[in-house]
Amino acid sequence: MNTLTVVEPTAPSTVSPVAEDGFADVVVIVRVYNEAPVVGGVIAELMAAGISVVAVDDASTDGSAGEIDRTGALRVSHPINLGAGGALQTGLEAALKFTDARYIGCFDADGQHQLVDLIGMIRTIRQGYDVVMGSRFLDGKTEMSPLRRLILRTATKVFNRGAGTRLTDAHNGLRLMTREVAAATRLTQTGMAYASELERQLTRPGHRLTEFPVHILYTEYSKSKGQPLLNSVNILADTIAHRLGSGRAAL
């Protein structure tokens, strides 16, 4: 089975000149909101692999900032909580301002994402793509409840209809984009609505885009933190609301 789903029909045309044996061309944004028990380990693993990290501390009230600083990663802190979208916008701007990385990635602080998947995505984007998006649905590795699967698949279908794409997973937090795509990205939505806003911008016509199979871990830690299932419901509601809104605008 073909593991890569090319959404835009244009073939990759350029190959990054950067040596394949290192990650000097990559910076990863790790957004952090009260992840003190795990964030140090997540960032340390990325940095041990030679990947630069920009950590955005979204006004955490626990020891997250200290844990980030112990890793030596660049930390940017919000004085007030701006949510996952605001934290990502800050991370994109910091990555562009403070690094000359060719590729900019997004990696969760809570241990749900795998370094091996990110490395596969880096190898893929170097083949000449503009955006590589992680997908939980290209192989059977990610285990999730039937309800979460249904919500995420439905949100993806609704998104695809609106955007004219053929994604298999429209709301996966593991993403990699070129510097140019990052510079053109503007996130204004608060809450989980940012997710659809980001996907709409990443899937703009003209972007050479592909998906890469990733394994998202629903650990006890990630499940005990916050309400990830509610996040999925919010994403679905926002996607449908946007579809209805743009449908009306088109009439």
Ligand X SMILES: Nc1nc2c(ncn2[C@@H]2O[C@H](COP(=O)(O)OP(=O)(O)O)[C@@H](O)[C@H]2O)c(=O)[nH]1
* Bridge partners (DSSP) listed for residue 55: 30, 75
* Between 84 and 138, CB nearer to ligand X: 84
Residues 109-148 that bind ligand X (CB under 6 A): 109-110, 112
Does the CA dihedral 69-49-91-24 come out positive or negative? Answer: positive
* 81 is a contact residue toward ligand X (CB under 6 A): yes
Please identify which residue in 8, 35, 67, 110 interacts with Mg ion, judged by CB under 5 A: 110
Stretch of residues binding Mg ion (CB under 5 A), selected from 75-83, 183-191, 218-226, 230-238: 218-226
* 35 is a contact residue toward Mg ion (CB under 5 A): no
Stretch of residues binding ligand X (CB under 6 A), selected from 104-112, 147-155, 196-204, 207-215: 104-112
Structure-token pair, residue 18: 């950067």
Smallest distance, Mg ion to C-beta of residue 110, A: 4
Q: Are 213 and 135 in contact (CB under 8 A)?
A: yes
Query: Among 89, 112, 105, 110, which residue's Cα sits nearest to residue 49?
Result: 105
* 210 is a contact residue toward Mg ion (CB under 5 A): no
* Between 61 and 227, CB nearer to Mg ion: 227
Q: Are 196 and 85 in contact (CB under 8 A)?
A: no
How many residues at the interface with ligand X, by CB under 6 A? Answer: 17
* 214 is a contact residue toward ligand X (CB under 6 A): no
Long-range contacts (CB closer than 8 Å, 24 or more residues apart) made by 36-39: 36/60, 36/62, 36/63, 36/64, 36/66, 36/67, 37/221, 38/109, 38/110, 38/111, 38/221, 39/64, 39/67, 39/68, 39/109, 39/110
* 203 is a contact residue toward Mg ion (CB under 5 A): no
Please identify which residue in 7, 28, 32, 202 interacts with ligand X, judged by CB under 6 A: 32
Half-sphere exposure of residue 85, counting CA atoms within 13 Å on the CB side?
18
Query: Residue 83 touches which of Mg ion, ligand X, none (CB < 5 to 8 A by kind)?
Result: ligand X
Please identify which residue in 64, 90, 112, 156 interacts with Mg ion, judged by CB under 5 A: 112
DSSP annotation of 121 reads H
How distant, in Å, are the alpha carbons of 25, 27, 178, 185, 250 from that of 51?
9, 6, 15, 22, 44
Smallest distance, Mg ion to C-beta of residue 166, A: 25
Structure-token pair, residue 33: 């909101």
Write out the residues near Mg ion by the rule CB under 5 A. 108, 110, 112, 222
Write out the residues near ligand X by the rule CB under 6 A. 31-33, 35, 58, 81, 83-84, 87, 108-110, 112, 173, 226, 228, 231
